[in-house]
Structure 1
Amino acid sequence: MKLTLIGAGPGDPELITLKAVRALGEADVVMYDALVARELLDYCRPDALLVYVGKRKGAYSCTQEEINPLIVHYAQQYGHVVRLKGGDPFVFGRGYEEAEYARQHGLEVDLIPGISSSYAVPAMAGVPLTSRGVSESFWVVTGTTKDGELSNDLQLAAQSTATVVILMGIHQLPKIAGLFAGVGKADLPVAIIQNGTTLDERVVFGRVSDIVERVEQEGISNPAVIVVGEVVGLRANASATPFVGSQLRPSTISTNTSTRS
């Protein structure tokens, strides 16, 4: 009995590792999340069982408490389960919880990291997280804790000179903007990137003082990555468009998953 946790990357189906593709082709069962590109399911065996366990706001599928025992159930019944998760399983992906639960129930566990949206999405939109003379480091912070509150780390991040990347925070944007404004950073540049690395990508630039209004005007929603810092100004002031690669989403991998999901 085996569980393989796979990071599917930030959205573009071509941003997945060769090792992950090989594991998908070996799996008996693939349990996949909402933000996973459906084209990736083409790498699965024709006889593999594909199970959707996505969690999206306003659309119920499975809670984490339901997913954990399902992993064990399918491993006991079929053998090799792949858990296909967006981004990287160990970056706000609850991968550790699933791995530990599986180990405690006798499963062999393997991890195949994925490209995290925290840095890939800004990069493909032309926003560097560090740049010599502008930013020497960056924070990656969740926008909402398990209690529905802002992370205490965000207060510390806002007071630093580092770039701040906030995941799952679009619904907390007014509070986030207020926090940065409260430490004297109302003029700090901000980028909000929705559906990053895909054909549906949308980017809104602004400053802490006006980003909430801009996001409301554009109708930006999750999944979105928030980037706050002087590096955003490098992209916002540049004449170049985002990198050409970001305009080639998704890949041309053929799809035939309509009857399998």
Structure 2
Amino acid sequence: MAEHPAYPVGLRLSGRRVVVLGGGQVAQRRLPALLAAGADIVLVSPEATPSVEAMADAGELTWQRRPYADGDLAGAWYALIATSDPEANAAASAEAERHRVWCVRSDDADAATAWTPATGTSEGVTVAVLTAEARGRDPRHTAAIRDAVVAGLRDGTLVAPHHRTRTPGVALVGGGPGDPDLITVRGRRLLAEADVVIADRLGPRDLLAELPPHVEVIDAAKIPYGRYMAQEAINNALIEHAKQGKSVVRLKGGDPFVFGRGMEEVQALAEAGIPCTVVPGISSSISVPAAAGIPVTHRGVAHEFTVVSGHVAPDDERSLVDWPSLAKLTGTLVVLMGIDKIGKIAETLVAHGRSPDTPVALVQEGTTAAQRRVDATLATVAETVRAEDVRPPAVVVIGAVVKAGPESVA
């Protein structure tokens, strides 16, 4: 048997009995995929890791808390043998052979009738890498090949053309705080498949350079009709290109629904009858402080954090923020788009009870190569912004957490 290569096949285990012998680390790694396949799993093992026990407690599998006994594999379609008892493993393997049950053995691949490939998924496609022979197998090598293929499919560096008709529409993608590595896997894949990309100024610009030449990139900051018509113009551009049957990605900074006017775009597309997919992004409100070494919550320091927009001053009649109430909170206050209003914001917080000595951190161009952090207090922050020439985009963090950690995190 060892002279011939394994025959690759995909098992459809939904609703079918699968027996797992042993509740250790091997079972813990293999069980999630079996559960995802819908298998009816029976675990036979005197003990189990906490994670495996949690699966049993949740009703995801049936756990028989005892050692293996002859007859346990009766009626099984597939078996995973992974106990720490070599004699039990050999006996179970022999039973599997008698009952013609495909069997994987974690301790002896030569004695098994099936091998588990290194697998990964991307957009409904499963990539499975299997070595040709049991002897001399290098699991790290097969895993590395698997990882390279899956990563390429996910980030768009390995593009397989779709031979089915794609449904035109718009994907509203949160690009994260600026570092191109912080966009989600799904967002990056959709970007690689786009015909048109309408990009914000604060989106991860480096990703645009990776797009194929045929992709049309529209700078949302330069769409015509003037400043106060910009959002309407963006909505019109999304609708126009989608109606042409193109796959459109609206690439936004941070998360589309955190001060990103994403819902306005979703509503406009819905009114035009255009399907829209929303892909969440990492918000700068938590990622930028983290990149600067600031936890927005910390045990014994802050049990809550509040994110507010500072694009209008507290005394502006357009402001919807209850600044007096915020001043009474003891947790962390994160202000986005407020660097040019920070003087008024600080004055208002102090006037309503926040200590003027409250620490403040200003993080400019967070997560990018140009990131810098400037510290101050509510009493000094306005002058610090002027003296240090802090400019947007910058995230303002107010609260004791500013002093909770090191000044930066590698």
- TM-score interval (norm. to shorter): 0.7 to 0.9
The separation in 2 between residues aligned to 1:241 and 1:136, in whole angstroms, is 21
The separation in 1 between residues aligned to 2:213 and 2:221, in whole angstroms, is 21
The separation in 1 between residues aligned to 2:206 and 2:174, in whole angstroms, is 14
- Tell me the secondary structure at the aligned position of residue 404 of structure 2: helix
The separation in 2 between residues aligned to 1:179 and 1:2, in whole angstroms, is 45
Is the CA contact 1:130–1:231 (under 8 Å) kept in the aligned structure 2? yes
- Between Structure 1 and Structure 2, whose CA radius of gyration is higher? 2
The separation in 1 between residues aligned to 2:189 and 2:317, in whole angstroms, is 37
Change (3 A) 1:41 1:65: same
Match of 1:28 in 2: 195
The separation in 2 between residues aligned to 1:148 and 1:49, in whole angstroms, is 40
After superposition, residues 11-90 of structure 1 pair within 5 angstroms as: 11-54=178-221, 63-90=230-257
Aligned length: 237
After superposition, residues 169-248 of structure 1 pair within 5 angstroms as: 169-184=338-353, 185-235=355-405, 240-244=406-410
Unpaired runs of 5+ residues, structure 2, are 1-167
Offset at 1:42?
3.7
The separation in 1 between residues aligned to 2:367 and 2:310, in whole angstroms, is 20
1:120-170 Cα distance to aligned partner (Å, 9 max, x none): 000010011111111000000000259785442333222111200000001
> What residue identity is the alignment partner of 1:154?
W
Is the CA contact 1:194–1:220 (under 8 Å) kept in the aligned structure 2? yes
> What residue identity is the alignment partner of 2:242?
A
Misfit runs of 4+, over 4 Å? 59-62, 145-150
Match of 2:321 in 1: 152
Is the CA contact 1:141–1:153 (under 8 Å) kept in the aligned structure 2? no
- Tell me the secondary structure at the aligned position of residue 347 of structure 2: helix
The separation in 2 between residues aligned to 1:153 and 1:115, in whole angstroms, is 26
- Please report the TM-score for the alignment, with normalisation by the length of structure 2: 0.55
Match of 2:174 in 1: 7
The separation in 2 between residues aligned to 1:61 and 1:174, in whole angstroms, is 26
> What residue identity is the alignment partner of 2:389?
G
Is the CA contact 1:190–1:226 (under 8 Å) kept in the aligned structure 2? yes
Offset at 1:208?
0.5
1:9-61 Cα distance to aligned partner (Å, 9 max, x none): 00111101111111011111110011122221144333111111127xxx969
Is the CA contact 2:350–2:378 (under 8 Å) kept in the aligned structure 1? yes
Unpaired runs of 5+ residues, structure 1, are 245-261
Match of 1:96 in 2: 263
- Tell me the secondary structure at the aligned position of residue 72 of structure 1: helix
Change (3 A) 1:40 1:154: farther
> What residue identity is the alignment partner of 2:372?
R
Answering whether residue 333 of structure 2 is matched by residue 164 of structure 1, we say yes
- Please report the TM-score for the alignment, with normalisation by the length of structure 1: 0.85
Match of 2:23 in 1: none
The separation in 1 between residues aligned to 2:361 and 2:205, in whole angstroms, is 27
1:149-192 Cα distance to aligned partner (Å, 9 max, x none): 54423332221112000000011111111012112321111011
Change (3 A) 1:176 1:150: farther
Match of 1:140 in 2: 307
Offset at 1:105?
0.2
The separation in 2 between residues aligned to 1:202 and 1:8, in whole angstroms, is 20
> What residue identity is the alignment partner of 2:348?
L
> What residue identity is the alignment partner of 1:3?
V
Is the CA contact 1:24–1:30 (under 8 Å) kept in the aligned structure 2? yes
- Tell me the secondary structure at the aligned position of residue 14 of structure 1: helix
The separation in 1 between residues aligned to 2:321 and 2:198, in whole angstroms, is 33
- Picking from 275, 278, 281, the partner of 1:108 is 275
1:175-219 Cα distance to aligned partner (Å, 9 max, x none): 111012112321111011110111111211111011111111100
CA RMSD of aligned residues (A): 2.0
Change (3 A) 1:14 1:82: same
